[in-house]
Amino acid sequence: MSEKSNRIIVTVIGADRVGIIAGVATVLAEANANIVDISQTTLREFFTMILMADLSQATIPFDELKRRLTEKGEEMGVKIDAQHEDVFKYMHRV
Amino acid sequence: MPLPFSPQEIVETIRMVQMENLDIRTITMGISLRDCAHPDLDAAGRKAYEKICRLAGRLVAVGNEIEREYGIPVVNKRISVTPISLIAECTAAKSYVRFAEHLDRAAAEVGVNFIGGFSALVHKGATPGDRALIASIPEALSTTERVCASVNVGTTRAGINMDAVAEMGRIVHETAHRTADRDGIGAAKLVVFCNAVEDNPFMAGAFHGVGEPDCVINVGVSGPGVVMSAVQQMPDADFGELASVIKRTAFKITRMGELVGRAASEKLGVPFGIVDLSLAPTPAHGDSVARILEAMGLERVGAHGSTAALALLNDAVKKGGAMASGYVGGLSGAFIPVSEDIGMIEAAEMGAITFDKLEAMTAVCSVGLDMIAVPGSTPPETIAAIIADEAAIGMINRKTTAVRLVPAPGKDVGDFVEFGGLLGRAPVVALNACSSAAFIRRGGRIPAPLQALNN
């Protein structure tokens, strides 16, 4: 892990509705996490939003942010997960 | 910048962790105690205690930190140490139980649930220290909580020490009976090996080999649920395709071990040893090796075809894992413990899997006869004969084999034993009732096989 990354990948899975992006973006903004990229797609009939955020200037630790995102997801009726970018890098890139 | 991963890749990873129980089963710190020998047993134990607390003091905190940082569960943090027979031998003590107590105290102090290495390597013969250690096992395992013991009784290079095998039959029996009030749980912390490996991170058989550095981090990854789900999605695939999908899945799982191992090594300032990808079941639903074999098309594990299915699985797991980590080691493959696998428990209860089929399957799995409850009245000679059979399979096939049997005191075929937690529960299975006593009484060594003569 030489190039230490502070980026995380946030996934939102569930039924599409107004305000999902705003809800997630608010949680991230409150933590001073910068959104690097965002994409939406439909996987197996589910609305899936994937978002990459940079935590290098974040004001709260990753686990706290993850807790807040999960909470927000429950509030909006969607499932939100967050994981460190390295997890995907290791699993899917050789 | 665009996302560096496809949505399918991202969702696949999330699914593995969230729904298919992908986890880091253990981060195991191997610690050499060779510098802790002392003519006074208690002093040696205190030195070991201090060294373990010094090196592993942050192990649990770092494990938890990694879990938070990467969002991957790190289920256990554990410690393996140099076989205690080597460390305690220069004392005049007849019993090493006091040393086990120091280990237990150290494990409690640093917060790990198991510490392995109350061990002796006697595949060609036993020294006075080995004998003292083996004799101490029943008391040590019944009076401590976290200490695990193992004894290596054979290797492909040396053959099988049948005197040690006979002794271990008695020791397993006594250990179970000393913990009769808890269904013989002491025996669940005792492994008898052939071709034991020096860098295995999984309990109860972990110890820190003499060829290892002073301190090392080994990681055990698991994920039977992930493999099962991959197999389930291919009901019509032929065996070539099936092996290929298992390989790819094993590769991905092992990459997580590599990531976590490197992170742990960096954070602790301790060299990274190996990743051991072993499909290690737990009693939880969706975490079963038996279910993978059933997903391949067997009505129940134990059906004819189970050995072939397990051979394919074990080999594909090794091939996928080997590509995924710089250093694959330990046991790497598939474990088939009975009490820790919901599919095995069910199959044993309904008679679909028998003791003899389990033995056949150990010829192609990564370890051996594991967590099997047998009648408490089983004679020590029969236990020894089971150990001899299993060691013979390992010796001839140049693989690690092991026996972890629980002769459950007061229980008979059809009864259940309950260990709780990761150790699970198991029905008591029937053994062959014919005597092996005269065979075991012969003593001596089974010579090294032709396979050993390869120089």
The DSSP output letter for B340 is: T
Largest CA distance in chain B: 75
What CA–CA distance (Å, rounded) separates B240 from B108?
Answer: 47
Q: Which of A48, A91, A93 to mutate to test binding with chain B, by most B CBs within 10 Å of its CB?
A: A91
Q: Write the pLDDT tens digit of every residue in A13-66.
A: 888 888 888 999 999 999 999 999 998 887 767 788 899 999 999 999 888 999
Domain residue limits at A13: 7-92
* Portions of chain B given CATH number 3.20.70.20: 30-194, 220-452
Q: How far is CA B204 from CA A69, B79, B299, B391, B422, in A?
A: 39, 11, 31, 17, 12
Q: Are B204 and B185 in contact (CB under 8 A)?
A: no
Confidence (pLDDT) at A15: 84
Among partner residues A37, A43, A84, which is closest to B3 by beta-carbon distance?
A37
Confidence (pLDDT) at B304: 98
Are the beta carbons of B17 and A9 separated by less than 8 Å? no
Question: How many CA atoms lie within 13 Å of B181's alpha carbon, on the beta-carbon side?
Answer: 2
pTM of the model: 0.91
A81 close contact with B: CB closer than 8 A:
yes
Q: In sequence order, which residues have a C-beta less than 8 Å from that of residue B318 and are 6 or more positions away?
A: B250, B277, B328, B332, B333
Element (H, E) at B407: strand B401-408
In the block, residue with structure tokens 């040393």 = B99
Q: Are B7 and B208 in contact (CB under 8 A)?
A: no
The CATH class of the B220-452 domain is alpha beta
Are the beta carbons of A87 and B13 separated by less than 8 Å? yes
Query: How many distinct structural domains can be found in chain A?
Result: 1
Are the beta carbons of A81 and B71 separated by less than 8 Å? yes
Q: Which residue of B has its CA nearest to A36?
A: B1
Element (H, E) at B77: strand B74-81
Q: What's phi and psi for A11, nearest 5 deg? A: -120, 140
Are the beta carbons of A81 and B252 separated by less than 8 Å? no
Confidence (pLDDT) at A4: 65
The answer to the question of residue A1 being in a domain is no
Confidence (pLDDT) at B1: 61
What CA–CA distance (Å, rounded) separates B372 from B211?
Answer: 32
Confidence (pLDDT) at B223: 86
Q: Are B221 and B206 in contact (CB under 8 A)?
A: no
Q: What's phi and psi for B329, nearest 5 deg? A: -155, -150
Separation in Å, CA of B451 to nearest CA in chain A: 37
Amino acid at position B139, single letter: E
The answer to the question of residue A25 being in a domain is yes
Q: Which residues of B fall within a CB distance of 8 Å from A1?
A: 262-263, 266
Q: Domain B30-194: give its CATH code.
A: 3.20.70.20
CATH number at residue A39: 3.30.70.260
Confidence (pLDDT) at B205: 95
Encoded tokens for B345: 């428990």
A1 close contact with B: CB closer than 8 A:
yes
In the block, residue with structure tokens 């059979």 = B389
Spans of chain B below 50 pLDDT: none
The DSSP output letter for B328 is: B
The answer to the question of residue A2 being in a domain is no
Confidence (pLDDT) at B11: 82
Is the ipTM value over 0.90, yes or no? no
Are the beta carbons of A83 and B262 separated by less than 8 Å? no
Q: Are B117 and B82 in contact (CB under 8 A)?
A: yes
Are the beta carbons of A83 and B4 separated by less than 8 Å? no
Among partner residues B2, B3, B72, which is closest to A87 by beta-carbon distance?
B72
Q: Are A89 and A26 in contact (CB under 8 A)?
A: no
Instruction: Count interface pairs A-B at CB distance under 8 A.
Output: 75
